[in-house]
Structure 1
C-alpha cells in the first residue's frame, strides 16, 4: 500500500488502486452502546463500533530511556505505548492504529541516526523499526520530519510499512509531497456479529510554518497551504469516497478568530463539513483535559472541537489516543451515532514518584536493540570538561549557565563568520538563546543538569535539544528592545500592592520562546502588562517591561545596527519575534547550533560558563511575594547571589520557591 521508498509524487488518494488489508480483529467483549450515550439501535439498521487509536509526537522515543541523563525513564517510549495498543485492541472488535507525526527527530537516537549512522535506501529507521511491529494503518507528517532534510526524510519514510498522508505540503512543481489523503477498505464486525465493508478515509496536515522553520531544507522545494484551505479543497472529494473520515492534524488547539495560516488550527479545521474525528498534536499536551478548558467551541471533558470527537495524545509516547465511534447504517450510508474520546497514559505520579502503568512490548524493544546500543555509545563520547555544574533549574528567573554556554558558543562562531564579510565585520554581535529544558509541560525532570567534569555529546544534547542551524540577523537597537519585550511575555503581571503569593511564570508561555539576548544589559519590570500576546501581536501598546536596556554601559541606540546570533527557527519567524521574520537574515550558516557548542567546548577544552547576570527582574516593593516552581533537586543548587527560598512541594512533582527581588 505504501510507496515511500523516497518522498513520493503521489497519485491522488481514493479507493481505486489502494491495496486492501484485513482489519485486525481484537478479542473480548465490546463496550455497550450506552457507554457512548448513543441513541437506541434500530433492529433493522446495522451498527458498527469502530475504534480509532493514535500516537503523536513520539520524537524517536522508542524505548523508556532518557539518553540525556543516561538512565531509564518510565514516562516515555513507544515500547510502553505499544502495551496500551495491545490492551485497547483486545477490548474491541474493530481497532485501527494511526500516528500523528513528529517521528524522526527529537531525541539523541534521532541525531545518532541522522549524523552518525546515516540512512540510505534499504535501511530501517529505528522509529519505524518499532512502529512496524504494531500494524499502523497510516500516519501524517509532523513539522520535525523536515529537520534533517528531504533526502533523509525520504529514506526514513521508505522504511515504514505504512503510508503517509499530508494535504498541505506541496512540491515546487505543484504536486503534493506525499498523498493528500487515502481510503482504506476494511471488513468490520457489526453488533450482530455480521460482516460489513467500511471505507475509512484519512487526510493529514502539518503546520504551514515548516517553510520558515526549515527554510534551508525547503526553500525552492516545498511550499505549504493553510490547513483549513487544504481541507476545504480535499475533504469534499474524500468524503465522496469514504464512509468515515479521520483527520490526522499535526497542529494544536487554539481559540480566537481564524485569520489564516495558523500554526495551531485544529479548532478551525473541525468546522470543515465532513470530518468525523480528529487526532491533533504538536503542542505536547493532552486532550480531553484541562489544558484546553474554557476555549469557545472546545468541550474539554467530552473531547470535542465544535462537536467533532478529538484527542491529543500527549508526547514522547506518554499517552495513547482513543476515539470510539458508533456508526449506524441507513439508506444514505453510515453516520456517527455516538462516540467517546480519551487519552490513556503509560504512567501516573503518586507522592512525587512516577509509577509505570504498563510494561514494555518485547517486539518493539527487540526491534531497536542495536540502535539503542549505538545511541548510548554516541552520546557517551567526551568532548571537553566543565569546571562547574551546568543546569537550568533557575533559568526562568535569573541569568543562567545553560543559556550562557549557548550564547558564548554562538557569539564565538558568528563573530568569526562576520569578520570575513566587509559589510558585517564592524557590527556588534549579540546572541539570543532560550532555556529549552525548564520544566513546564515536560514535568519536574525536564531540566538541563550537567555535572562538573567530563562533558559528553549527551550533555551538549541536554543543553541544546534541537538540530537547529545557526543564523544571524541584522536588526536595530529598537528591534532588540522589542525582541526582548516579546520574550518577557513569559511572566505574569505582578500587582505591587498585593501581599499574598503571586505566581511569576505564565505556564502557557513556552520556555523556548524566552530568549535572553547576551551582549546587552537590561531589567524586566513584571508590574507592567505584557506588551505582546501569545501570537506575537502587540496587545498593550503603552506597556514596556524592558527597562534600562544598555549596550556597553550606555543606553542602547534605537537606530544602531546589531548582529544577533540565533537559530533558523527564530530567524525564520518561529515565535513571531520582532526583527526575526526571515527577511533580516544576513548569515545563513551550514552548522547546527549543537555542533557549534561542541566545537566551542573542544576549542576551549575546559569551560566554565558562569552567568554574567546581564539581565534581572526589576526590584519589587517590600512585602510582594512572587513564587515559581522548579525541580525538587533545585533546592540544593541555588546559584550564589540568587535570593530564593524553598517553600516545599508543588503539584505535579515540582517544588515551589519564593523569589526575593528587592534592590
Structure 2
C-alpha cells in the first residue's frame, strides 16, 4: 500500500445497437435467456479475496498482464478488409502467455474492455456466451473491466457475458439507479504468497450520452464521474483490506472529452496507485505521472526512445518505498491484441514482516512475428469460419468509381495500404470533396428517414468502392464499421448551422501557401460529419472555427459555413428542417449540446426491421444486386479552397514552387507530418505548405521497389 493516512445467432443483417430486440425498454430478455443479474444487486463471480498462491517467501515479484480494445479479435484477421493482421489476436496473445506463465505461474491477467464488439463479433451476440469471453476463459484471464462498447447492445447481452466470465468483473463507477449499489464490483483483491493486490476498474462515464438513443443498453444503470468513484473505491479497499499494491485498470483515455481521464486520476491519486493499466485510446505508451492536483499534470514518457514497448529505467529510475507516493506509472498495450502490457512489481518484507516496494518495471510484449496458438485456434476455428463466410458473401457488383481517380488517397490515388496501416498522405479524397462514397451513406439515410438533410462520417480511411469490384458484406462493414442506428430530428436552421460549423472544426485553418488541408491535433474521424441532401453550401477554411467551453457553452459561432439553400429555398435560420444523423451523434453531441430535444425526434430506426445503418447499406446492395455511383452523385458542397479558382487548386497548378512540391508528394518523394499522439486516427497535422520546409520531410525510402518500404519511410 502507498503512503496514505492509513500507511448462433441473430442474423448478421439484423445485428446492431439494439441486439435482437426492438423494444429498448426490455431488460434481460433477448433470445429467451433467463435474467442472470438481480436488479439492485452487485454481480459477483469471485470471492472477496482470490488467493493465487500461499508460499512463505520474503521476496516476491508480482506480474500483471493486460490486453485492451480487442474488439472481437480472437484471430489476427480483419474480416472487413479480408486481410491478415500479423500482429493481432488472442491466438497470438495465447502464445505469449505460454512463455509468460512458465516464468510467472501466478500472473494476474486482465482485459481492460471494448472486448466483444467489432470485427464481425456481433454475429455471435445470441450465443449463450460470446466466443471472445469463452476465449478469455480458456486463457484463464482473472479480471475483466467492461469498456464503453460493451454497452452497444441491449443490457441483457452484457449481463449474460459478465456473468459467464470465469474471473472477476470490475468497474467502480457503474451503479444501479435505484439504490446506487455497484452493478459489478468496484475492485478485486488478489493474494499472492501473502501479498495483497487490489485492482480498481473504471468505465467511461459518458456511456449514457453515447448510447442516448438506445437507453435499453444501460437500463437501470448510471455511470458516475470517474475520479470521485475511484477515490471512493480506493478509500474502501484500503479500510477493508490494507493492500500492499494498488493497481488501476481504466478503460478511459489519458485526456477525456467528458469526465476525468487517466492523467487527471493518476495525478490526483499518484500517492495511492502503483501502476495504472489503461485502454480505450488504442495507443501504445509507457508514462509516469507526478502527484499533483487540478489541471497541473506532468507526464513523462519513460519508454526507450524509438521503442515504446520497453521502459527506460535510466529515465524512470527506481520506484521504491521511499518515493512511491510521488508518482505513478501508466501503460497501454494498443488495440486488437497488438501487445500484452506487463507490469513486474518487486516486493520485499521489512524487519517487521510488512511488504515494501522495491521497484516496478513496465513493458509491452508485442505479438508481431508471434505464431498463433494451435490449441486456441482449433477450439475457436468455427468463429473464424463463420466470420469469413459471412464477410465474403457477395451481394452484387459496383458500377462506377465512388471516389475520383479510383484510389482513395487524394495525392497518390492509391487505396489504403493494409501493411503500412494508412493512406500515404492520410487525406482520403472523400474527406475533402463531395463523392458518391459519402453520398451513398447519406442518400440511404435520407431514403429511410425522409429527411431533407443527412449527416454521416467517413469512419475508415480504408473505405472505397471501385468500378467492377464485387460488393461483399464486408464492404458495408468497412464503409460503416459501427453499429449505429438512424435518427431523424426536426432542427432549426440556426442549430443546423451550428452543427455544421462544429463538424468542420475537424480541419485546421487555411494558411497562405497550403497545398493540402490538415486535421486538428487529436481529431477523430468519426467526429467529422459531411452533409448531403437538398442542401447547397460552401466551406471556407479561412473562417473562424466554431468553439465551445468545457460547459458546452458556445464561445465562437464560427463562420466557415455558408449555407446557400435548403430544399430549393434560401437558408432560413428560423425555419425547421428534417435532419438524419446516427444515434451516436444524436446522443453524444446534438442532444447533449441542446441543438434538439427528444420531442424533436420524428424517426428512429430501432423500430424498423433493418435498424443498423450498416445493414441498410447491405440491404440496398442486395436488393439491387449491386450499387451504382451514378445513383449517388449529388454535388452539393465544396471547400472554397478546392474550387477551380481556389487557393489550393491554383497553387497545385501554378507551374512553379507549389506545383513542384505537390508533385513531390504525388511521387512519394516527401512525407507529410503526422500527429504523433493520435495513433488511432493517423492524420496530417500540418498542411503541406510551400512556405514551410518543416511541413514535410524527405522520404528516405523514396523509389524503393517495395511499396510498403516506401510507406515505412514516412514512419522512420
Post-superposition CA distance 1:315-373 (Å, at most 9, x none):
111222122223343449434342223333333xxxxxxxxx31212232122101211
Q: TM-score, normalised by structure 1?
A: 0.76
Q: Partners in 1 of 2:66 and 2:226 — Cα distance?
A: 20
Contact 2:246 2:272 in 1 (8 A): yes
Give the superposition deviation at 1:622: 6.5
Post-superposition CA distance 1:559-608 (Å, at most 9, x none):
11112211221111258666267675343321111222223333444422
Q: Partners in 1 of 2:600 and 2:551 — Cα distance?
A: 17
1:5-404 to 2 correspondences below 5 Å: 6-7=36-37, 11=42, 17-22=48-53, 46-90=58-102, 92=104, 95-108=107-120, 110-114=121-125, 118-120=126-128, 124-174=129-179, 175-187=181-193, 197-215=194-212, 216=214, 217-218=216-217, 220-240=219-239, 241=241, 242-254=243-255, 261-262=258-259, 264-272=261-269, 273-288=271-286, 296-301=297-302, 307-330=327-350, 331=352, 333-347=354-368, 357-390=369-402, 393-404=428-439
Q: Partners in 1 of 2:652 and 2:251 — Cα distance?
A: 36
Post-superposition CA distance 1:120-146 (Å, at most 9, x none):
3xxx42212322232211110011111
Q: Partners in 2 of 1:76 and 1:449 — Cα distance?
A: 26
Q: Partners in 2 of 1:82 and 1:282 — Cα distance?
A: 22
Aligned partner of 1:474 in structure 2 is 490
Give the superposition deviation at 1:98: 0.7
Q: Partners in 2 of 1:491 and 1:577 — Cα distance?
A: 20
Aligned partner of 1:526 in structure 2 is 541
Alpha carbons of 1:13 and 1:68: their partners in 2 closer, same or farther (altered >3 Å)? closer
Say yes or no: does 1:569 pair with 2:587: no
Aligned partner of 2:601 in structure 1 is 585
Aligned partner of 1:488 in structure 2 is 504
Aligned partner of 1:601 in structure 2 is 621
Q: Partners in 2 of 1:536 and 1:385 — Cα distance?
A: 48
Say yes or no: does 1:506 pair with 2:520: yes
Query: Match of 1:278, SS?
Result: strand
Q: Partners in 2 of 1:360 and 1:555 — Cα distance?
A: 60
Say yes or no: does 1:617 pair with 2:639: yes
Contact 1:201 1:245 in 2 (8 A): yes
Contact 1:59 1:106 in 2 (8 A): yes
Alpha carbons of 1:158 and 1:14: their partners in 2 closer, same or farther (altered >3 Å)? closer
Post-superposition CA distance 1:390-409 (Å, at most 9, x none):
46542222223332211111
Query: Match of 1:518, SS?
Result: strand
Post-superposition CA distance 1:531-560 (Å, at most 9, x none):
236979567626422234432455421111
Alpha carbons of 1:332 and 1:545: their partners in 2 closer, same or farther (altered >3 Å)? farther
Aligned partner of 2:694 in structure 1 is none
Q: Answer with 5-14 or 263-272: which moved more.
A: 5-14
Query: Match of 2:556, SS?
Result: coil
Query: Match of 2:635, SS?
Result: coil
Unaligned runs of 5+ in 1: 26-44, 188-196, 348-356, 416-427, 439-445, 628-643
1:431-442 to 2 correspondences below 5 Å: 431-438=454-461
Post-superposition CA distance 1:44-85 (Å, at most 9, x none):
x94432222110000001111111122322142122233333
Unaligned runs of 5+ in 2: 1-33, 289-294, 304-310, 317-324, 409-427, 654-664, 691-716
Give the superposition deviation at 1:467: 1.2
Contact 2:53 2:106 in 1 (8 A): no
Aligned partner of 1:423 in structure 2 is none
Alpha carbons of 1:295 and 1:414: their partners in 2 closer, same or farther (altered >3 Å)? farther
Aligned partner of 2:308 in structure 1 is none
Contact 2:80 2:478 in 1 (8 A): yes
Query: Match of 1:85, SS?
Result: helix
Query: Match of 2:547, SS?
Result: coil
Post-superposition CA distance 1:277-321 (Å, at most 9, x none):
21111121122279xxx9942222358998211111111112221
Give the superposition deviation at 1:228: 0.9
Q: Partners in 2 of 1:500 and 1:588 — Cα distance?
A: 42
Q: Partners in 2 of 1:326 and 1:266 — Cα distance?
A: 24
Aligned partner of 1:455 in structure 2 is 471
Q: Partners in 2 of 1:535 and 1:318 — Cα distance?
A: 34
Say yes or no: does 1:429 pair with 2:452: yes
Q: How many residues align?
A: 569
Q: Answer with 581-590 or 366-375: which moved more.
A: 581-590
Contact 1:62 1:78 in 2 (8 A): yes
Alpha carbons of 1:77 and 1:529: their partners in 2 closer, same or farther (altered >3 Å)? farther
Contact 1:625 1:658 in 2 (8 A): no
